[in-house]
Amino acid sequence: MGDSLQDQLIKAGLADASQVSKARAGKKHRNSRKKGRRAAPPSDEAVAARKALARKAARDRELNQARTAKAERKAKRAEIRQLIEQHRLPRDDAEVGYYFEENRKIRKLFVTPTMHEQLVSGSLAIVKLDGRHDVVPSHVAERIRERDSACIVPRKESQSQPAGEDPYADYKVPDDLMW
């Protein structure tokens, strides 16, 4: 049973050695023809299918990038919310109004007198998240600014040098003026 089919045919007398050698030569010839054969050009359907797969893969990549960006924004927002909630200063007995500008509008935030002084000096900052304004220490505000600068209410710096020919240059207006 270990003999090949060709050997078995020779032993049975159904084939002779010349026929076996022709069969082996023909087999080699067929294998060499297969190697030299060129692939047929792809059909229009195959080309269209490949293009559709490429478009679908590109669309899936875009959707995945959008999902990832949305998740990152959500995570940053949660970090900011946590920073604000942990470091917000209580304004329970707030009686002094602190005025600040936000989006070209004047806003008023009630704070304590010490908080007012610290806001003016810059050791405290005002942050806004979800329509609510809170007061946090300035080092926390910097950490929030790293994540999203839109949450920080910009502080108007006092002008150190007045304009060239200002008729009121001799009259300094204090930053902590109460209205």
**pLDDT confidence tier of residue 75, bands split at 50, 70 and 90:** very high
- Helix (H, G, I), strand (E, B), or coil: what is residue 16? coil
**pLDDT confidence tier of residue 55, bands split at 50, 70 and 90:** very high
pLDDT surpasses 60 at 163: no
Which residues fall within 8 angstroms of residue 123, CB to CB, at 6 or more apart?
137, 138
Q: Which residue has the higher pLDDT, 17 or 70?
A: 70
What percent of the chain shows pLDDT beyond 90? 28
Give CA–CA dist 99/106, Å, rounded.
Answer: 7
Q: Which helix (H) or strand (E) holds 46?
A: helix 44-87
- Predicted TM-score (pTM) of the model is 0.56
Across the chain, what does the average pLDDT equal?
A: 83
Q: What is the DSSP code (8-state) at residue 161?
A: S
Domain boundaries, the chain: 48-156
Q: Which helix (H) or strand (E) holds 113?
A: helix 113-121
What percent of the chain shows pLDDT beyond 70? 84
